[in-house]
Amino acid sequence: MSSMTYHSVDQLPDTLTVFPLPGVVLFPHWHLPLNIFEPRYLNMVDDAMAGNRLIGMIQSVGGDRLKPDLIGVGCAGRITSYSETDDGRYLITLAGIARFRVLEELAVMTPYRQVRPNWAPYANDLRPDSLVGLPSREDLVDALRKYVSSHDMKADWDAVKVAPVDALVQALAAGSPFSVMEKQALLEAPTLKDRADMLITILTMDSAGPDDGTLQ
């Protein structure tokens, strides 16, 4: 599947299809695999594939069960892989392009929701992440070990040892079982350094938490 590089927010659309999913965030320069099975979202993928292949991932909280309230900031991704299963599901991967702020939700006839996005506050997302000032691997791993131990979880320590620090930050921010608002705070962190610092803070603060599970 062909890739596309965006150099300016002027290349990004004035309307954006959104996929509300609490607890799931997409970061710029990161990839998110999705298993699509609801009819309205199968329709969403069909339309995206026929158009610009962009879908905005955004968390939702509260409101009506069928139409929950959208949190104000999400991240758009471009479909970079697509396959259909024997039972009619779509397996897709989104490559994170840029964050957006919701200016308004549009009144549309489609079964899925659409918004008018403001890309301007996140124009720097179209540039490579700066690695300046990232915390050391030791500080990150130390916070992660305490978090994993306190939650009786498992982690792939071999992968942790060899992953670049920037990739480790993104993977942990996306895959850890944090709350909706913690994940939203990580998404809205201005820079990768800010996200990394916030990640260590959340891991440290949550180290006394009661949740059990496995790190994704």
Are 112 and 202 within one domain?
Answer: no
Indicate the burial class of 19 (C-beta count within 10 angstroms; 0-12, 13-18, 19 or more): buried
Residue 4 lies in a domain: no
137 burial class (0-12, 13-18, 19+ CB within 10 angstroms)?
A: middle
What are the tens digits of pLDDT across the range 4-24?
889 999 999 999 999 999 999
Task: Please state the domain count of the chain.
Answer: 2
Owning domain of residue 23: 13-121
pLDDT for residue 213 is more than 50: no
Is 5 within a domain? Answer: no
Out of 121, 156, 178, a domain closes at 121
Give me 37's structure tokens. Answer: 């099975």
pTM: 0.91
**In-domain check, residue 181:** yes
* Residue 131 counted as domain residue: no
Tokens of 102: 């919701």
